[in-house]
Amino acid sequence: MAPKINFDTFAERTAAGIVVSGISERLEGAKLLHRHVVLTQGTRFAEGIAQKDPQWETDPPLRDDDFADDDALATGTELYVVGSPTEAGAAPTFVTMTWSETVKIR
């Protein structure tokens, strides 16, 4: 079963840009390599990396390309590696999780 991954309800506008945050359960037996977030609102688009912590946020904040204080679509992806050379006969495998939710920019 896939881990539970959620965006927080609000994306926070700051002086540095828009901070998108959320909570991701760990994928058991896997190592998180990368987390990336895209924010879209009509023709507006921003993307960036997010911290690897279970309770994470985009760091640095996403570029605020004239986003309105309104709903936006947040899409995220996490890249994991499963297996390691220390396991007898195991070849590492990549697993990708992708999810999206509507968030409110404020």
- For the entire predicted model, the pTM comes to 0.89
Query: How does pLDDT run across 79-99, given as a tens digit for each residue?
Result: 999 986 666 667 889 999 999
Digit-coded pLDDT (tens) for 29-70: 899 999 999 999 999 999 999 999 999 999 999 999 899 999
Among 105, 82, 70, 92, CA closest to 3? 82
Please report the pLDDT score of residue 103 as a whole number: 98
How high is the pLDDT of residue 87?
A: 62
In the chain, domain spans: 5-105
Mean pLDDT of 100-105: 97
Neighbours of 66 (CB within 10 A): 7
Residue 1: per-residue pLDDT: 57
Distance of CA 52 to the CA centre of its chain: 9
Structure tokens at 68: 């309105």
What pLDDT is stored for residue 34 in this prediction? 97
d(CA 7, CA 76): 9
- Rounded Cα distance between 14 and 17, Å, is 5
Nearest 10 degrees: Cα torsion 100, 104, 105, 106: -150
CA distance 9 to 102: 8
Q: Residue 100's pLDDT is what?
A: 96
* Predicted pLDDT at 42: 96
